[in-house]
């Protein structure tokens, strides 16, 4: 890989740092007592870690530090800023003691299981600062799941001071399980998670946002804005834009606020397929009455999973046997291609692969039928284009701070926690840094027929501020074109452009 002029300039960018992280020797993590009310099942699964309280970073001498040996791994899909987590980790470890060592496990959690790793040098890391992608050490989707995986992790990382798992909800659940396992087996390795995912579904009261969401939404919004302008100029197509991001509709909501398309479907509203088809057809008719035969519609990737009748159909299909008459009717009404997908392409457990269903195709065909062909649609899918882009200043600084802070969590002996930064919409100098026990986020869910401990995916809260703000405005975007083009991410110039944060955060 070589670097473009912009990439080279970004190497020199200095992320802004919260005041508390300026002198690492002058701060320490302090327990924040709180009443905990975890279920007996969680207590049984996490006997050593369930009672842990949150810790917050505060002024106060850290005591004598020693050299630390820390492992780091990327888990799951790319998100802009990951390399800065590593940069922050490395810089903090060197400040704590220059004899510290940062070891990258390669190509995801399988690197821990198979002991594929490499000590990372400062020279090497310097080449990746403020760059997109996870390519310094790679990533992967393997999970540490089976007993032998845990044994391998203990063998390969059990004599570290810390192991940092940069990942989404499942990877952080894994981090909690691994923390418990290490303690149980007398290992000194502290496990700390870092909240990563462009999907934005790893949120809680304590985790305001995962990293990568901002950069991905800005990149998608650039493209949506361009497409809107094109629609307005050519006046002949309905651009139906599907947006990456598993179940939750956070990305669609954020991009809608940034670009104001004519219609944005939000899965969490729980509308039926029929309602949504009616809604689109109605929009097309009203716009036609206003002389407009074009438009822009945003469709979250996970939309189909929220449609009651489709949810029911999928459950019945996965179970096998005869379909109910309602589901049979729903099935019969799907495009042939989708019917085939539902019947033939199952995951190893025999479950229907919801992610393969081309929601936008179904909607387009149904709307076309309803409008007797008068729906000139163009399909788009925005996904890979926004996962590995150059991180925005927000993600660059956020990730660097996450890296610095994570090193302190390990230095101060915390385990089974996730690094969290709060007050993100305010000045970076004032950001709060908190280590949140991952067990506090975990509950039991039935997944693929088995009860499993998981971090609940955060969905768009349709009673929350961001959605209510959106729902107040969206009517006015339907027929009048109130399109906005945020344009490409800018790294130089006025702070209004370079340092903006997601609208849903504000």
Distances (CA, A) of 276 to 253, 304, 308, 358, 404: 17, 11, 12, 15, 46
Answer for which of 116, 380, 425, 443 binds a second copy (CB under 8 A) is 380
Q: Which of 205, 203, 213, 179 is nearest to 77 (CA)?
A: 213
135 interacts with a second copy by CB under 8 A: yes
Q: Which of 457, 410, 444, 443 is nearest to 92 (CA)?
A: 410
Decide: helix, strand or coil at residue 483. Answer: coil
What is Dmax (Cα atoms) for the chain?
75
222 interacts with a second copy by CB under 8 A: yes
Answer for which of 123, 322, 336, 494 binds a second copy (CB under 8 A) is 494
225 interacts with a second copy by CB under 8 A: yes
Closer residue to a second copy (CB): 312 or 368: 368
Closer residue to a second copy (CB): 383 or 464: 383
Decide: helix, strand or coil at residue 238. Answer: strand
282 interacts with a second copy by CB under 8 A: no
Distances (CA, A) of 121 to 103, 125, 128, 191, 361: 9, 6, 11, 22, 48
1 interacts with a second copy by CB under 8 A: yes
Q: What minimum distance in Å lies between the beta carbon of 338 and a second copy? A: 15
Q: What minimum distance in Å lies between the beta carbon of 122 and a second copy? A: 21
* List of residues 6+ apart from 273 with CB closer than 8 A: 307, 309, 310, 330, 362, 363, 366
Closer residue to a second copy (CB): 55 or 134: 134
Q: Please tell me which residue in 199, 201, 395, 481 is annotated as part of the active site.
A: 199
Answer for which of 62, 97, 488, 499 binds a second copy (CB under 8 A) is 488
Q: What minimum distance in Å lies between the beta carbon of 107 and a second copy? A: 7
Is residue 199 part of the annotated active site? The answer reads yes
Answer for which of 309, 318, 485, 499 binds a second copy (CB under 8 A) is 485
Closer residue to a second copy (CB): 161 or 214: 214
Q: What minimum distance in Å lies between the beta carbon of 404 and a second copy? A: 23
Answer for which of 194, 209, 227, 297 binds a second copy (CB under 8 A) is 227
Decide: helix, strand or coil at residue 497. Answer: helix
**Residue for token digits 């670097």?**
3
Decide: helix, strand or coil at residue 241. Answer: strand
d(CA 314, CA 320): 10
378 interacts with a second copy by CB under 8 A: yes
Answer for which of 15, 18, 71, 77 binds a second copy (CB under 8 A) is 77
Q: Helix H segments across 392-464?
A: 393-411
Q: Which of 139, 78, 91 is nearest to 403 (CA)?
A: 91
Answer for which of 114, 422, 491, 505 binds a second copy (CB under 8 A) is 491
Closer residue to a second copy (CB): 171 or 388: 388
Answer for which of 267, 437, 486, 502 binds a second copy (CB under 8 A) is 486
Q: What minimum distance in Å lies between the beta carbon of 2 and a second copy? A: 5
Taking CB under 8 A as the rule, which mask of x and - marks residues 444-483 in contact with a second copy? -------------------------------------xxx
Answer for which of 204, 385, 469, 479 binds a second copy (CB under 8 A) is 385
d(CA 274, CA 269): 14
CB neighbours (10 Å) of residue 487? 12
Cα-atom radius of gyration of the chain, to the nearest Å?
A: 24
Closer residue to a second copy (CB): 282 or 499: 499
348 interacts with a second copy by CB under 8 A: no
Q: What minimum distance in Å lies between the beta carbon of 109 and a second copy? A: 14
Sign of the Cα torsion 449, 452, 458, 463 reads: positive
Decide: helix, strand or coil at residue 229. Answer: helix
Answer for which of 307, 389, 418, 455 binds a second copy (CB under 8 A) is 389
d(CA 200, CA 250): 6
Q: Which of 359, 313, 320 is nearest to 338 (CA)?
A: 359
490 interacts with a second copy by CB under 8 A: yes
134 interacts with a second copy by CB under 8 A: yes
Please report, as ranges, the residues that interact with a second copy according to CB under 8 A.
1-7, 9-10, 74, 77-78, 107, 131-135, 138-140, 219, 222-223, 225-227, 229-230, 232-235, 239, 260, 378, 380, 384-390, 481-494, 496-497, 500
């Amino acid at each position: 890989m070589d670097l473009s002029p912009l990439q080279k300039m970004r190497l020199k960018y200095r992320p802004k740092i919260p005041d508390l992280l300026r002198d690492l020797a002058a701060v320490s993590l302090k327990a924040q007592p709180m009443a905990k009310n975890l279920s007996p099942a969680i207590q049984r699964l996490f006997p050593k870690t369930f009672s842990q309280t949150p810790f917050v970073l505060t002024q106060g001498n850290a005591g004598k530090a020693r050299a630390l040996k820390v492992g780091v791994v990327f888990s799951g899909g790319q998100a802009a800023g990951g390399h800065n987590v590593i940069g922050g980790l490395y810089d903090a470890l060197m400040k704590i003691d220059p004899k510290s060592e940062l070891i990258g496990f390669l190509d995801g959690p399988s690197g821990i299981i198979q002991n594929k790793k490499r000590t990372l040098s400062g020279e090497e890391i310097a080449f990746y600062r403020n760059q997109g992608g996870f390519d310094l050490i790679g990533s992967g989707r393997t999970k540490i799941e089976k007993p032998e995986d845990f044994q391998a992790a203990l063998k390969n990382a059990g004599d570290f001071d810390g192991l940092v798992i940069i990942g989404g909800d499942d990877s952080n659940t894994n981090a909690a399980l691994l923390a418990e396992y290490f303690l149980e087996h007398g290992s000194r390795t502290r496990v700390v998670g870092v909240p990563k995912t462009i999907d934005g579904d790893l949120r809680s009261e304590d985790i305001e946002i995962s990293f990568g969401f901002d950069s991905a939404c800005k990149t998608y919004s650039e493209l949506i804005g361009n497409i809107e302008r094109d629609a307005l100029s050519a006046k002949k197509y309905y651009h139906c834009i599907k947006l990456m991001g598993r179940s939750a509709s956070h990305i669609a909501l954020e991009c809608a606020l940034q670009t104001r398309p004519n219609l944005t479907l939000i899965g969490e509203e729980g509308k039926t397929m029929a309602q949504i088809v009616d809604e689109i057809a109605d929009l097309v008719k009203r716009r036609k009455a206003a002389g407009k035969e074009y438009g822009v519609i945003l469709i979250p990737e996970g939309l189909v999973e929220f449609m009651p009748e489709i949810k029911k159909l999928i459950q019945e299909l996965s179970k096998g046997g005869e379909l109910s008459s309602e589901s049979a009717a729903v099935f019969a009404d799907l495009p042939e291609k989708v019917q085939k997908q539902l019947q033939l392409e199952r995951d190893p457990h025999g479950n229907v692969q919801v992610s393969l269903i081309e929601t936008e195709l179904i909607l387009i065909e149904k709307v076309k039928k309803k409008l007797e062909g008068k729906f000139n649609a163009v399909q788009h899918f925005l996904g890979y284009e926004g996962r590995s882009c150059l991180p925005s200043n927000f993600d660059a600084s956020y990730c660097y701070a996450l890296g610095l802070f994570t090193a302190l969590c390990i230095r101060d002996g915390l385990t089974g926690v996730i690094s969290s930064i709060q007050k993100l919409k305010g000045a970076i100098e004032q950001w709060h840094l908190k280590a949140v026990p991952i067990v506090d986020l975990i509950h039991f869910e039935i997944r693929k027929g088995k009860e499993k401990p998981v971090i609940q995916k955060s969905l768009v809260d349709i009673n929350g501020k961001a959605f209510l703000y959106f729902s107040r405005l969206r009517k006015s975007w339907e027929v009048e074109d109130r399109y906005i083009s945020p344009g490409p991410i800018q790294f130089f110039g006025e702070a209004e452009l370079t340092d903006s944060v997601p609208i849903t955060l504000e």
